């Protein structure tokens, strides 16, 4: 990367002579540099289609961008980027820290080909204690935060947060039911019977006592577990001395549950109140970044990431890009420990501090327990990358075997599998899943609501035609040159000869001749292992029941079936949840609720007269007539 402290740039008087298509990008950047200010900001390199090739930040835009005009000094990867550049867009910022934050946002949004990319940025679960209720519940939470609630986390997985919730229920007896269930119970639920709830819904505990339990849970999640454990021990002794052995047993069970949590800590992390530990390991041309979350002296789990980057990217640059993109999704902790120092560590600290509104420190421990902790996380990164490389090797062998089965010229980089789902033709949906060298590509999955109105109920062939037509017509429009990775090397249809014929008809109609298409159908008794495969101009064939490729294709087919069914169920649930009243303009949630409460159902509203409608609170004479006319108009 260009040196930010280099002297004021001077444009080369005469760039080396190159072919015209190579000089276009260089000449464009030379013209751009002439008008750039010497201020902080963000620049974007765009290709001919207007897509972002690279997003970068600079302390001095003019100094940074001019370096790209000297292509002979850059690695081949950046040379290719410059040669593809057809436009350069610039945003000026007040500070370099603001530029870094903007760069991170743009990289996550645009996913430029030549940037280091964090491919998995799913949200993490938290434990939430809502505010504004006398008996707040303990609940798992994902998504945006609301003011007034208390959040603890993040946890690395749903499993980690569920285990913690179970422990908290045992120790602090806080409710987990919804507010509506809480308000309408007349008897305690099963959680009270198994001693995981104090029974506030039926008055078995008053508000001050319940508030004390909530405060203790907050202290525990904030790291003050020893204080709470000591207090529970004192209460157990007091109850024992008073011969109240039942109460003493309750305290004993709560202490045991708390001790179990402390015993499962693999590493001594009592002094880590709000710390994430991040370690990078590289091997085989790939990288793994392992993240451990420590909150309140407890290990909240860990997760492995495999960022996309070039072979010549430095370790520090990978860690820096990861940290920036990772903490753009959720609040950063007060302390981040790493095994490799980011090249712009102080700037990254400033940007994270600016975003979080409090100090955030990044450190590389050199000795002591913290150094051992980072080494442990690095060991986990090494093992996770080893497992991934082994899985990729196995996946590559399966893809090579798939190429042999379907007579492909090379192992497929993208396999698309299609399936349909419906009940007697209603709520019909089509589904597409995608697999490649790294396994299932879930962010490429697509579902299709069947739109053809004159389609006969249950017409699977017609549904398949619609899905494939929409899929490949869009690919022809958005990726005509087939350089964006949207075109499959193999298409598998769930079905037999009929589905294959429908699919081939679509390809013929669209003029597509170079996509391999096949169908996979279960045997006569629909037994797994007896699948038949159909290909154009070929006799249907079967694979041996112990063939590894057969199992691989079965899994892909089953995944497409699962995804299709889930899409169908979601559509059906949405349709069930809709009401006839939703079609009446001017009927909002409040009026809809009032009408349903008065008449009992939407059908009752539809059958009501104007006078009856007008008797409902919030329904004026004009609105009553509007509702009546909607249900009684001709046609």
* pLDDT per residue as tens digits for the range 538-556: 999 988 887 888 888 988 9
Q: Which one of 1.20.1090.10, 3.60.20.10, 3.40.630.30, 3.30.420.340 gives the CATH number of domain 274-386?
A: 3.30.420.340
SS3 164: helix
Domains 415-575 and 580-632 share a fold: no
Q: Among 471, 501, 510, which residue's Cα sits nearest to residue 488?
A: 471
Q: CA–CA separation, 231 vs 254, rounded Å?
A: 11
- Confidence at 248, pLDDT banded by 50, 70, 90: confident
Residue 402 has pLDDT above 70, yes or no: yes
pLDDT classification of 534: cutoffs 50, 70, 90: very high
User: Is the model's pLDDT at 8 over the cut of 70?
Assistant: no
Q: What is the pLDDT of residue 10?
A: 46
The CATH code of the domain at 580-632 is 1.10.150.20
pLDDT for residue 490 is more than 90: yes
Look at residue 12 in the predicted model and tell me its pLDDT: 45
Highest mean pLDDT among 140-149, 348-357, 458-467: 348-357
Q: Which of 417-431, 469-483, 508-522 has the highest mean pLDDT?
A: 508-522
Q: Provide CATH code, domain 20-110.
A: 3.40.1440.10
- Is the pLDDT at 579 greater than 90? The verdict is no
Tell me the per-residue pLDDT of 176-198, one tens digit each, with 9 for 90 and over.
888 888 888 888 888 888 888 88
- What are 421's strand-pairing partners? 429
What six digits make up the tokens of 549?
Answer: 């490729």
Order of strands across the sheet that contains 150-152: 139-141, 126-129, 150-152
Write down the pLDDT at residue 524: 57
Percent of the chain with pLDDT over 70: 87
Question: Lowest-pLDDT range, 133-142, 262-271, 410-419?
Answer: 262-271
- pLDDT value for 346: 92
Average the pLDDT over each of 16-20, 233-237, 480-484, 546-550 and give the range with the smallest value.
16-20
Distance CA 130, CA 150 (A): 6
Mean pLDDT lowest for which of 37-41, 110-114, 198-202, 563-567? 563-567
Please state the domain extents for the chain: 20-110, 274-386, 415-575, 580-632
Which stretch of 41-55, 68-82, 157-171, 569-583 has the lowest confidence by average pLDDT?
569-583
Q: What angle do CA 352, 162, 132 make, to 5 degrees?
A: 70
Give yes or no for residue 17 having a pLDDT over 60. no
Rounded Cα distance between 418 and 409, Å, is 22
Residue 416 pLDDT level (bands cut at 50, 70, 90): very high
Q: d(Cα 233, Cα 235) in Å, to the nearest integer?
A: 5
User: Can you give the pLDDT at residue 634?
Assistant: 45
Lowest mean pLDDT among 1-15, 38-52, 418-432, 621-635: 1-15
Q: Can you state the angle between helices 96-110 and 345-356, rounded to 10 degrees?
A: 80
CATH architecture of the domain formed by 415-575: 2-Layer Sandwich (3.30)
CB neighbours (10 Å) of residue 418?
26
Model confidence at 260, in pLDDT bands (50, 70, 90)?
A: low
Distances in Å between the alpha carbon of 269 and those of 122, 277, 321, 374?
Answer: 26, 11, 27, 12
DSSP codes joined into one string, 50-81: S-EEEEEEESSHHHHHHGGG-GGGS-HHHHHH
Distance CA 271, CA 294 (A): 10
**b (16+ CB within 10 A) / e for 528-565:** eeebbbbbeeeeeeebeeeeebbebbbebbebbbebbe
**pLDDT reported for residue 13:** 44
- Phi, psi (deg, nearest 5) at residue 633: -70, 150
């Amino acid at each position: 990367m260009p040196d930010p402290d280099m002297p004021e740039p001077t444009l080369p008087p005469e760039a080396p002579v190159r072919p015209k298509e190579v000089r276009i990008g260089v000449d464009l950047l030379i013209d751009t540099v002439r008008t750039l200010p010497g201020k902080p900001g963000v620049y974007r390199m765009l290709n001919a289609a207007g897509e972002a090739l690279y997003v970068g930040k600079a302390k001095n835009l003019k100094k940074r961008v001019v370096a790209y005009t000297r292509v002979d000094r850059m690695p081949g990867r950046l040379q290719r980027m410059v040669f593809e550049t057809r436009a350069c867009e610039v945003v000026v910022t007040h500070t370099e820290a603001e530029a870094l934050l903007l760069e991170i946002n743009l990289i996550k949004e645009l996913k430029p080909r030549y940037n280091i990319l964090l491919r998995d940025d799913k949200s993490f679960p938290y434990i939430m204690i809502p505010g504004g209720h006398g008996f707040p519940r303990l609940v798992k939470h994902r998504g945006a935060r609301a003011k007034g609630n208390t959040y603890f986390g993040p946890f690395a997985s749903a499993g980690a947060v569920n285990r913690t919730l179970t422990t908290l229920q045992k120790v602090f007896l806080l409710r987990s039911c919804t507010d509506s269930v809480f308000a309408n119970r007349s008897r305690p639920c099963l959680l009270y019977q198994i001693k995981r709830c104090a029974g506030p819904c039926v008055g078995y505990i008053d508000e001050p006592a319940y508030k004390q339990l909530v405060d203790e849970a907050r202290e525990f999640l904030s790291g003050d577990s020893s204080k709470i454990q000591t207090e529970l021990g004192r209460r157990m002794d007091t109850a024992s001395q008073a011969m109240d052995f039942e109460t003493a047993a309750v305290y004993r069970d709560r202490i045991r549950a708390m001790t179990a949590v402390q015993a499962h800590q693999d590493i001594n992390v009592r002094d880590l109140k709000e710390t994430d530990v991040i370690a990078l390991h590289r091997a085989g041309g790939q990288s793994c970044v392992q993240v451990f979350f420590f909150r309140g002296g407890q290990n909240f789990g860990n997760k492995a990431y495999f960022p996309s980057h070039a072979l010549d990217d430095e370790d520090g640059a990978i860690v820096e890009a990861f940290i920036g993109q990772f903490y753009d999704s959720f609040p950063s902790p007060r302390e981040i420990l790493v095994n490799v120092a980011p090249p712009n560590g102080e700037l990254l600290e400033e940007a994270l501090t600016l975003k979080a509104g409090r100090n955030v420190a990044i450190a590389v421990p050199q000795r002591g327990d913290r150094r051992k902790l980072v080494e442990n996380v690095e060991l986990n990164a090494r093992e996770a990358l080893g497992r991934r490389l082994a899985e990729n090797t196995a996946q590559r062998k399966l893809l090579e075997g798939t190429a042999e089965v379907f007579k492909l010229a090379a192992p497929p980089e993208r396999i698309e599998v299609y399936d349909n789902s419906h009940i007697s033709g209603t709520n019909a949906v089509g589904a597409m899943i995608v697999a490649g060298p790294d396994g299932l590509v879930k962010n490429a999955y697509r579902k299709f609501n069947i739109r053809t109105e004159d389609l006969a109920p249950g017409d699977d062939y017609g549904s398949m035609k619609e899905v494939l037509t929409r899929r490949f017509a869009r690919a022809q429009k958005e990726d005509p040159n087939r350089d964006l990775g949207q075109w499959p090397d193999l298409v598998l249809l769930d079905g037999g000869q009929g589905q294959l014929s429908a699919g081939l008809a679509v390809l013929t109609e669209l003029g597509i001749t170079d996509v391999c298409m096949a169908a996979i159908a279960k045997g006569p008794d629909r037994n797994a292992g007896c699948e038949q495969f159909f290909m154009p101009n070929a006799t249907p064939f079967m694979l041996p029941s112990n063939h590894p490729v057969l199992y691989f294709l079965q899994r892909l087919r089953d995944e497409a079936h699962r995804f299709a069914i889930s899409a169908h169920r979601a559509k059906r649930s949405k349709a069930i949840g809709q009401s006839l009243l939703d079609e009446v303009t001017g009927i909002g949630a409040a009026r809809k609720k009032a009408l349903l409460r008065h008449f009992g159902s939407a059908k009752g509203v539809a059958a009501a007269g104007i006078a009856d409608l007008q008797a409902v609170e919030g329904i004026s004479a004009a609105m009553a007539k509007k509702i009546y006319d909607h249900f009684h108009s001709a046609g």
